[in-house]
Amino acid sequence: MTYQEEFITFMVRSGVLTFGDFTTKSGRKTPYFINTGNYKTGAQAAKLGDYYAACIQANLPDGVDCLFGPAYKGIPLAVTAAASLYRSYNRDLPYCFNRKEAKDHGEGGSMVGYKPQNGDRVVIVEDVVTAGTAVRESLELFKTLGDMKVTALIVSVDRMERGTRDCSTLDELRADHGIAVYPIVTVKEIISFLHNRPIDGRVYIDDAMKARMEAYLAEHGAKA
């Protein structure tokens, strides 16, 4: 299997990718849900880092000076991705993350880990981007730190839904801020791979679920 197909299987087995009846924060009724908060073991964290590292290596084999994980969910993602890049590809990239509130004692500041330098090319590591608020806040943060450029965003899944305009939130970020966006997988790849394909003896996307997911995308998906 490709690393994308392995990642889909991993999400299902981890209880992160589930199917049924859910309501998103935006109020949309969705037949599937991705809850990255269900990752909870060391083995899962290590494997998750491997998939992020594979995506970074495939799409950004060079031109990266540091990984940034927005607080809070992005913090362990950036750390495990950096560890996996070193372990699997011998790329020793520094990582950093922000505090929600700037520290007013000791060395102070809002950043933890590597201190980005002028000229650095920064890659944001996130989970699933819905409205893109954390990413936009990160872009504003780096403007205050110096002359470094956020060049790319890595996410686990592109839900391919409309943001505030007809295009997806990820396309909004591409258009508005000029950054490249690379998902490990898209929802269409999830549908294609899991349709009538059993995982540990169970079919998660049968014909009926496929029809529901495609109907959801037809209603809420980004316009091509």
Establish whether 177 is a catalytic residue: no
**166-217 pLDDT tens trace:** 888 888 889 999 999 999 999 999 999 999 999 999 999 999 999 999 999 9
Cβ(157)–Cβ(185) below 8 Å: yes
Cα separation, 57 vs 170, in Å, equals 20
Number of domains in the chain: 1
177: left (phi over 0), alpha (psi -120 to 50) or beta: alpha
CB atoms within 10 A of CB 6: 14
What confidence score (pLDDT) does residue 224 get?
60
Catalytic-labelled residue, pool 25, 105, 210, 220: 105
Q: Which long-range contacts (CB under 8 A, 24 or more apart) does 193-199 make?
A: 193/4, 193/5, 193/8, 194/8, 194/12, 199/9, 199/12, 199/13
Cα separation, 123 vs 153, in Å, equals 6
Establish whether 105 is a catalytic residue: yes
Largest CA distance in the chain: 58
**24-73 pLDDT tens trace:** 877 889 999 999 889 999 999 999 999 999 999 999 999 999 999 998 88
Cβ(123)–Cβ(60) below 8 Å: yes
CATH of the domain at 71: 3.40.50.2020
Query: Residue 196 has which token pair?
Result: 């009538």
Helical H segments across the chain, by residue range: 3-13, 42-59, 74-89, 133-145, 169-177, 187-194, 207-220
Query: Residue 88 has which token pair?
Result: 């699997």
Cα separation, 174 vs 178, in Å, equals 5
What confidence score (pLDDT) does residue 92 get?
98
Catalytic-labelled residue, pool 103, 115, 177, 223: 103
Amino acid letter, residue 91: R
Distance of CA 16 to the CA centre of its chain: 13
pTM of the model: 0.93
CB atoms within 10 A of CB 117: 13
Residue given tokens 């037949």 in the structure block: 31
What confidence score (pLDDT) does residue 48 get?
98
Cα separation, 168 vs 175, in Å, equals 10
- Which domain does 184 fall in, by range? 3-220
Cα separation, 85 vs 17, in Å, equals 24
**81-138 pLDDT tens trace:** 999 999 999 999 999 999 876 555 445 568 899 999 999 999 999 998 877 888 889 9
